[in-house]
């Protein structure tokens, strides 16, 4: 009958619900039991303590009698062989009790020392202070031969306010023309050489501490095209300024990334007193790594370029080409610098070149001017290489690079006008 069928269905559903209720109760009970504190270990008499004689530290460690991997009845885990010599103290009243440290730790846990003795070794768990020492800063003590001085400064760019924050920190090892040195620093934001900011004069010191801050208002669109120039002068008794050296620092994207303050130091460079050549000059470094078979070119800067300024907006870049038997192998370009006859690049390029190819290889560095409408014009070129292709300063630069492997050899070269075929 329908009534009996309904009773059977109801009983079945009720049984299933009862089973689910029992299962849920068991799970809750297990979780509740897991939150309770662990049962304390039963108290046992302490094991034999270590001997406290004064000569114990000097005599060699004696092997411990307990070397089996079985655990003591009062220790709820297996003790490793290297730690079985310790006295494991049970817990009471929910607190940790520290057992006396074994004066002769296991020899396999000790660091190997040159003397081979255990007296100077650190125990397991001890902090080795040698690992936490900062490397010694030798920037204020190690100066290369012929160094004119070293300058420390900081650079930070605020994107929202479009402000360049420059911190003049200090200078060291300045080479004064007289016995005393009274330095000051002028800061330029090239290519604008008419306006500058100036620090205070520090009297009678070759290691001045400036700690001064300067602000340049510059657009975020053009800041990466600008170059910071620091000119360090000595002020004599007649208040005349004598140039001690200068630092040129291009403002690249990686330098200004992150809106964070970066502290940088650079060595002073002497200002070139030679007048620029007819078509301008280019300064770059060469280096060859015979182990990696890499030819490295660092394009530093140019000066005295003859730009065609009647063609609108002008930008200048340098094209570096590797040639072999006067055949093109590979070409790389610097970034373009806007509207400057003295652009600064400081960009590095590397080429793959085997040592056997250097007798027939050459490098061509071409200064190119871009104008509106994607038109370009070559302003001049320098070719450096072996005797097969070059003479004079270009050949000397190449030979000096080969005689000083893995060293950067820096030189100025006059640009030559490219003859049209």
| Mean pLDDT to the nearest integer, 169-179 | 84
Q: Is pLDDT of 192 > 90?
A: no
Q: What are phi and psi of 367, to 5 degrees?
A: -90, 125
Percent helix, strand, coil in the chain, to 5, is: 20, 35, 50
pLDDT, tens digit, for every residue of 112-162?
444 444 444 555 556 766 666 656 566 666 777 778 889 999 998 888 888
Domain with CATH 2.60.40.150 in the chain: 146-268, 280-415
> What does DSSP say about strands 327-333 and 375-384: parallel, antiparallel, or unpaired?
unpaired
Cα angle value 381/384/386 (rounded, 5°) = 145
User: Which segment of 107-116, 180-189, 351-360 scores lowest on mean pLDDT?
Assistant: 107-116
pLDDT, tens digit, for every residue of 13-69?
888 888 888 988 888 888 887 766 555 555 444 444 444 444 444 444 444 444 444
Which pLDDT score is estimated for 266? 87
pLDDT, tens digit, for every residue of 216-267?
998 888 888 788 889 999 888 888 888 888 888 888 766 676 666 788 888 8
Q: Is pLDDT of 278 > 60?
A: yes
pLDDT, tens digit, for every residue of 337-375?
887 788 888 889 999 999 989 999 999 999 998 876 667
Q: Which residues of 268-294 are buried (b: 16+ CB within 10 A; e: fewer)?
A: beeeeeeebbebbbbbbbbbbeeeeee
Look at the chain and count its residues.
421
User: Which segment of 10-24, 25-39, 78-92, 381-395 scores lowest on mean pLDDT?
Assistant: 78-92
Which pLDDT score is estimated for 74? 55
Which pLDDT score is estimated for 80? 64
Q: Tell me the pTM.
A: 0.51
Which pLDDT score is estimated for 96? 47
**DSSP H or E segment with residue 22:** helix 2-35
Q: At the topology level of CATH, where does 146-268 sit?
A: Immunoglobulin-like (2.60.40)
Rg, C-alpha atoms of the chain? 38
Residue with tokens 């005689």: 403
DSSP per-residue string spanning 114-172: TT--SSSPPPTT---GGGGPPPP--TTT---TT---EEEEEEEEETTTTEEEEEEEEEE
pLDDT, tens digit, for every residue of 282-339?
999 999 998 999 999 999 889 888 887 665 667 889 999 999 988 889 999 998 888 7
Q: Which long-range contacts (CB under 8 A, 24 or more apart) does 240-244 make?
A: 241/184, 242/177, 243/271, 244/148, 244/149, 244/174, 244/175, 244/176, 244/181, 244/183, 244/268
Report the distance separating Cα 40 and Cα 35, nearest Å: 15
Which pLDDT score is estimated for 123? 57
Q: If one looks up domain 280-415 in CATH, what number appears?
A: 2.60.40.150
Which pLDDT score is estimated for 117? 46
């Amino acid at each position: 009958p329908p009534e009996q069928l309904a009773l059977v269905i109801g009983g079945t559903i009720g049984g299933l619900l009862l089973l689910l209720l029992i299962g849920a109760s068991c799970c809750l009970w297990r979780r509740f039991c897991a939150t309770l504190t662990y049962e304390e270990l039963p108290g046992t008499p302490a094991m034999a303590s270590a001997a406290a004689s004064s000569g114990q530290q000097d005599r060699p460690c004696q092997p411990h009698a307990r070397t089996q991997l079985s655990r003591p009845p009062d220790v709820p885990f297996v003790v490793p062989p290297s730690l079985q010599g310790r006295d494991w103290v049970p817990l009471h009243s929910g607190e940790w009790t520290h057992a006396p440290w074994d004066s002769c730790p296991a020899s396999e846990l000790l660091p190997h020392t040159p003397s081979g003795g255990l007296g100077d070794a650190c125990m397991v768990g001890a902090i080795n202070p040698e690992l936490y020492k900062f490397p010694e800063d030798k920037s204020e003590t190690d100066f290369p031969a012929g160094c004119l001085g070293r300058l420390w400064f900081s650079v930070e760019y605020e994107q929202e306010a479009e402000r360049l924050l420059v911190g003049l920190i200090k200078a060291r090892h300045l080479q004064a023309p007289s016995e005393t040195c009274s330095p000051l620093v002028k800061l330029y934001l090239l290519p604008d050489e008419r306006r500058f900011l100036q620090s205070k004069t520090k009297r009678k010191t070759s290691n001045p501490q400036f700690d001064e801050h300067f602000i340049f208002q510059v657009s975020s669109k053009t800041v990466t095209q600008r170059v910071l120039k620091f000119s360090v002068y000595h002020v004599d008794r007649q208040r005349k300024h004598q140039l001690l050296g200068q630092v040129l620092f291009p403002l690249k994207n990686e330098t200004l990334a992150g809106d964070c303050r970066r502290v940088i130091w650079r060595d002073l460079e002497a200002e070139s007193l030679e007048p620029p050549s007819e078509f301008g000059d280019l300064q770059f470094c060469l280096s060859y790594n015979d182990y990696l078979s890499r030819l490295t070119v660092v394009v530093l800067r140019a000066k005295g370029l003859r730009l065609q300024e009647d063609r609108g907006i002008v930008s200048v870049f340098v094209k570096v080409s590797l040639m072999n038997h006067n055949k093109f192998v590979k070409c790389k370009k610097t970034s373009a610098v806007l509207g400057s006859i003295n652009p600064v690049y400081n960009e590095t390029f590397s080429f793959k070149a085997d040592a056997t190819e250097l007798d027939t290889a050459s490098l061509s560095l071409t200064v190119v001017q871009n104008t509106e409408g994607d038109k370009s014009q070559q302003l001049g070129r320098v070719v450096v290489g072996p005797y097969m292709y070059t003479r004079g300063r270009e050949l000397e630069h190449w030979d000096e690079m080969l005689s000083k492997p893995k060293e950067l050899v820096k030189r100025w070269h006059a640009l030559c006008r490219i003859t049209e075929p």
